Amino acid sequence: MKLIIVTGVSGAGKSQAVNILEDIGFFCVDNLPPVLIPKFLEMCKMSEEKMEKVAIVVDTRAGKFFDASSDVLATIEEAGYNYEILFLEASDSALIKRYTLTRRRHPLALNEKVTDGIGREREKLAVLKKRANYIVDTTNLSVKQLRQEILNIFEDGGYFEGMFIQIMSFGFKHGIPSDVDLVFDARFLPNPYHVDSLRDFTGKDACIKEYVMQFKETEIFLQKLVDYLEFVIPEYIKEGRSQLIIGLGCTGGKHRSVVITEELTNRLNKNGHKAQFAHRDIDKN
Q: Give pLDDT, residue 155.
A: 63
Q: Taking a C-beta distance cutoff of 8 angstroms, is the pair 171, 252 a contact? A: yes
Do 127 and 55 fall into the same domain? yes
Do 182 and 115 fall into the same domain? no
Question: What integer is the mean pLDDT of 62-81?
Answer: 89
Do 12 and 150 fall into the same domain? yes
What residues are paired with 5 via a beta bridge?
56, 85
Q: Any residues with CB less than 8 A from the CB of 239 and at least 6 apart, and which?
A: none
Do 132 and 6 fall into the same domain? yes
Instruction: Kindly report the backbone phi and psi dihedral angles of residue 80, in degrees, each rounded to the nearest multiple of 5, phi listed first.
Output: 95, 10
Query: In this structure, is the dihedral angle defined by the CA atoms of residues 171, 209, 96 and 55, taken in order, positive or negative?
Result: negative
Q: How far apart are CA 170 and CA 278, in angstroms?
A: 9
Do 139 and 248 fall into the same domain? no
Domain count, the chain: 2
Range of the domain at 99: 2-157
pLDDT digits (tens, 9 = 90+) for 19-67: 999 988 899 999 889 999 999 998 888 876 677 889 999 998 888 888 8
Q: Percent of the chain at pLDDT above 70?
A: 95
User: Among 235, 230, 10, 268, which Cα is nearest to 116's?
Assistant: 10
59 assigned to some structural domain: yes
74 assigned to some structural domain: yes
173 assigned to some structural domain: yes
State the pTM of this model: 0.66
Mean pLDDT is lowest, of 109-113, 171-175, 215-219, 246-250, for 109-113
Do 52 and 118 fall into the same domain? yes
Q: Would you say residue 195 has pLDDT above 90?
A: yes
Q: Give pLDDT, residue 266.
A: 95
Which H or E run contains 57?
A: strand 53-57
Q: Give pLDDT, residue 175.
A: 94
What's the CATH number where 6 sits?
3.40.50.300
